Structure 1
Amino acid sequence: MRLVALSAAILLVAGCAGEPDPQPSPEPASTVRLGTVASAELGARLTVTATVDRVIAGTAFVVRDVDFTDGRLLVLSVGKTTAEPPQLVTVVGTVVDFSYRDLSGRYQLGPSDAYRDFEGGRALVAEDVTVWD
């Protein structure tokens, strides 16, 4: 009986000492942090590169990218920009809470209906806009 138990123990140890079974490789993880603008602190400086989705006014346009909450971001600028859909732009700016009432005069936003979806969300006030050809 001792011989059987000893043989079983040797087989068990020998089986454990071999190469481990290959483990499946982990699923690739996305490097995109969704909601970067939404999680940024108010007043934070941010640089984004994205595609122009639509122009609302000469001083306001919407960019689209997977990194934004809802996939889009309102960009405001004191000066008029030349960006048009579907151009790629890089915007350096400051994160603000969007309030049409508070910002419409300064940025000459035009009619409020175009901004309804952005009310109470985040926007980026552009300090510099680079339009890529």
Structure 2
Amino acid sequence: MDRRHALVRPALVALSTAAMLITGCASRPADPQPTPEPTSTVRLGTAARAEVGARLTVTASIDRVLTRAAFVVRDADLTKGRLLVLSGDPAPAEPPQLVTVSGTVIEFSYRDLSARYDLGSFGPYRDFEGGRALVAEEVTIWK
């Protein structure tokens, strides 16, 4: 029986090793599993996430001109799709021109900024009150 046991044991070890090698090499990699919630590849709300005082550059189309020193740009990456831009220079373009604006992010307060930028009546700024705005240092118009 020792001789038989001596022949069977190596055969079983070789057989189990072969089975592990075959199943390990032949197995298909697991399919990627979907995430529980879809994730966006677009960085939405860029201006809302920016810290007050941070530099920000935005390329977007002009939605409307409010005054000589204030205009609104619209783009999917912006907070609620739009951003108030304040500029010391007259509004450079008309809707729907594309502009690139570089400047500093501020928290918009009509009361604090009205006189400085000659904003006119409060009505057009109501939706921006307490939110982020961009004080333009450079505006490039794309034609």
TM-score of the superposed pair, with normalisation by structure 2: 0.78
Greater gyration radius: 2
Distance in 2 of aligned mates of 1:39 and 1:87: 25
Distance in 2 of aligned mates of 1:18 and 1:124: 58
In structure 2, the partner of 1:16 is 24
> Are the structure 2 counterparts of residues 39 and 24 from structure 1 closer, same or farther at C-alpha, using a change threshold of 3 Å?
same
Q: Deviation string for 1:3-22 (max 9, x for gaps)?
A: xxx57885465223215246
- RMSD over aligned Cα atoms: 2.7
Q: Indicate which of 89, 97, 121 corresponds to 1:87.
A: 97
Q: Deviation string for 1:100-121 (max 9, x for gaps)?
A: 0000100011110010000000
**Mind listing any 5+ residue stretches in structure 1 that lack a counterpart?**
none
> What's the CA shift for 1:82?
2.3
Where does 1:1-133 land on structure 2 (aligned, <5 Å)? 11=19, 13-21=21-29, 23-24=31-32, 30-133=40-143
- Percent sequence identity is 61
Q: Deviation string for 1:63-99 (max 9, x for gaps)?
A: 0111111011000011102211110000011100000
TM-score of the superposed pair, with normalisation by structure 1: 0.83
Distance in 2 of aligned mates of 1:26 and 1:75: 39
